């Protein structure tokens, strides 16, 4: 189990996935623009795939942000208004609040994905089951919770300043 935790903590999987998605986004977008401009033709699925790649890239970026502690935080409260001795507790409290928020996102994401799965809805151009698109919400919610827990227990980021 320790090897699995170390692997998740040390290997930047979410950063890699976000980078690959960004590269795919750039390639499809450039190809579509070139085809439209020079050949007056574009793929009918081009705009749709760009939209879905953007959604996946955004949610994977959220998970990567938890890993690298780059999310926006209100440091005025935790780093300036709170006394020095209490700062680590406020940082820990903010991490716990983030876990609660991501748990709600995950819970309602599962409900949403379940409803979409039961409806059998597919995307217009690619004919993908829409559950693959909506499923990114609960999956990345779970990954976010894992990353926050790793930051609390393994990285002990609440002991460091977040400025």
Give 39-52 as a DSSP string: HS---TTHHHHHHH
Extract the tokens encoding 116. 């979409």
Q: Phi, psi at residue 70, to the nearest 5°? A: -105, 10
What pLDDT, on the 0 to 100 scale, is given for residue 74?
62
> Dihedrals φ, ψ of 135, to 5°?
-65, -15
Which of 24, 26, 13 shows the shortest CA–CA distance to 60?
A: 13
The values of phi and psi at residue 126, to 5°, are: -90, -20
Structure tokens given for 121? 């809805």
Q: According to the model, what pLDDT value does residue 46 have?
A: 86
67: closest CA among 2, 1, 146, 5?
146
- Residue 121 CA to its chain's centroid (Å): 24
pLDDT of residue 114: 96
pLDDT of residue 109: 96
Q: Which two tokens stand for residue 74?
A: 């209100």
Closest CA to 9 of 147, 102, 140: 147
Q: What is the pLDDT along the chain (163 residues), one digit of tens a residue?
A: 777 777 766 667 887 888 889 999 999 999 999 999 999 888 888 889 999 999 999 998 888 888 776 666 666 677 778 788 888 888 888 889 999 999 999 999 999 999 999 999 999 989 999 999 999 999 999 999 999 998 888 877 766 766 6
Name, in order, each residue with C-beta under 8 angstroms of 102's C-beta and a sequence gap of 6 or more: 141, 144, 145, 148
Dihedral angle sign, alpha carbons of residues 86, 89, 95, 96: negative
């Amino acid at each position: 189990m320790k090897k699995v935790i170390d692997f998740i903590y040390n290997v930047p999987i979410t950063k890699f996935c976000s980078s690959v998605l960004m590269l795919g986004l750039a390639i499809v977008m450039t190809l579509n623009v070139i085809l439209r401009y020079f050949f007056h033709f574009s793929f009918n699925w081009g705009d749709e795939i760009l939209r879905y790649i953007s959604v996946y890239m955004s949610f994977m970026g959220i998970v990567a942000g938890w890993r690298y502690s780059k999310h926006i935080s209100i440091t005025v409260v935790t780093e300036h208004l709170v006394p020095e001795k209490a700062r680590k507790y406020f940082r820990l409290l903010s991490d716990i609040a983030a876990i609660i928020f991501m748990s709600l996102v995950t819970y309602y994401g599962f409900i949403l994905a379940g409803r979409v799965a039961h409806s059998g809805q597919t995307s217009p151009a690619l004919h993908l089951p829409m559950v693959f698109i909506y499923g990114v919400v609960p999956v990345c919610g779970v990954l976010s919770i894992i990353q926050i827990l790793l930051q609390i227990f393994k990285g002990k980021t609440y002991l460091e300043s977040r400025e």
